[in-house]
Amino acid sequence: MIIRPITTGISNKNDTVPEFADHLFLTEVFESTFSHDFGLTGFGLITCLRGQTLFYINDQNLLLDSSSFAVVNRGSRLKLSGKSASQPVLVFFRSILADVVAAEIFHKNVDSEKEPTYEELRDRSLIEHIHYTRASLNSQLRQVMRLSQSCASFQALKTDALLRSLLQNLSEENYKAIAISSRLPVVKKSTRVDLYKRLSLAKNWMDEHLTANIALQNSAGIAMMNPEHFLRNFKTAFGITPHQYLMQGRLKLAKKLLTETSLSIQEISEQLGFEVLSSFSYQFNRQEGLSPSAYRKQAGMS
């Protein structure tokens, strides 16, 4: 991996799409307001570990902080700007490795309902949008930075392993996105990409607001679609309704709280946004085949 300040940029002479012989990790703490134009970029991810940074990817404006990141597709046009004390991070993956990983995932999943072409696998436009950060991403990026300046054994190999793990996760997500978006009843590619991105945005938003009282109109609003259109397309893409998706997420969280905390069943029910305990118990029983207290007992917690 090569680590450099952002202002040294990337080499894309004559406005061509750059190829990366090694992973490139760009980061810098800016002392004053800044803006930087990268021109065309390779496949990577962008985030901001301190403060906020406004990234412009083609015609999208994304304000990112440590709770969010975005994927940049190979060949996209990228600019960024921000205020002092911000620390943006841009990671561009080794081009050949990105292709190898995509091809490996493709070969592992040959039985899936639709086999994407190699060109489709290299195209990450479906996941080129804002994602909400799992805490592990920030910790991995910080670990990459620490390791790059560390005296630890095999530090170059270990930073590569961390970046490969990020690349693997993004490539798997891209593969899933290709499979899911192929179910959408849209012929034109740009429309399908746009529709998939809107649905994903709403799905990610629901993940972040599992315990809130979310109505169909709220998630449809995030996707900038009318509720009926959103409901129909969400179900086609993901196989379940937005309500079922929310319920699944809540019950997954319930299982975590039941086995990892000593909160009472009533407290868990309230924390998950259920208005009455009986509704939580009913939904839990329906999905798991036993009550929340029986589940907790089975897991060895009293």
* Stretch touching other proteins by CB under 8 A, among 27-35, 119-127, 143-151, 180-188: 143-151
Site map 222..261 versus other proteins, x via CB under 8 A: ----------------------------------------
Q: Tell me if 12 contacts other proteins by CB under 8 A.
A: no
Helix axes 189-208, 227-238, angle to 10 degrees: 90
Q: Tell me if 282 contacts other proteins by CB under 8 A.
A: no
Tally the C-alpha atoms within 13 A of residue 296's C-alpha that lie toward its C-beta. Answer: 18
Among residues 156, 224, 263, 290, which is the contact residue for other proteins, using CB under 8 A? 156
Helices and strands of the chain, counted as H and E runs: 11, 10
Give the SS3 label for residue 150.
coil
Q: Tell me if 161 contacts other proteins by CB under 8 A.
A: yes
Which residue is associated with the tokens 């993004």? 170
Q: How far is CA 85 from CA 32, 35, 64, 89, in A?
A: 7, 13, 14, 13
Q: Tell me if 8 contacts other proteins by CB under 8 A.
A: no
- 175-214 residues in contact with other proteins (CB under 8 A) are none
- Our CB check for other proteins shows the closer of 70 and 141 to be 141
Q: Tell me if 136 contacts other proteins by CB under 8 A.
A: yes
Q: Tell me if 21 contacts other proteins by CB under 8 A.
A: yes
Shortest distance (Å) from residue 128 CB to other proteins: 23
Among residues 67, 165, 259, 279, which is the contact residue for other proteins, using CB under 8 A? 165
Among residues 63, 85, 96, 157, which is the contact residue for other proteins, using CB under 8 A? 157
CB 170 within 8 A of CB 74: no
Tally the C-alpha atoms within 13 A of residue 86's C-alpha that lie toward its C-beta. Answer: 23
Q: Tell me if 11 contacts other proteins by CB under 8 A.
A: no
**Phi/psi of residue 11, nearest 5 degrees:** -90, 100
Rounded Cα distance, 49 and 89, in Å = 7
Residue 82: burial class (beta carbons within 10 Å; 0-12, 13-18, 19+): buried
Shortest distance (Å) from residue 105 CB to other proteins: 14
Among residues 2, 212, 240, 294, which is the contact residue for other proteins, using CB under 8 A? 2
The footprint of other proteins (CB under 8 A) covers 1-2, 21-22, 136, 140, 143, 146, 150-158, 160-162, 165
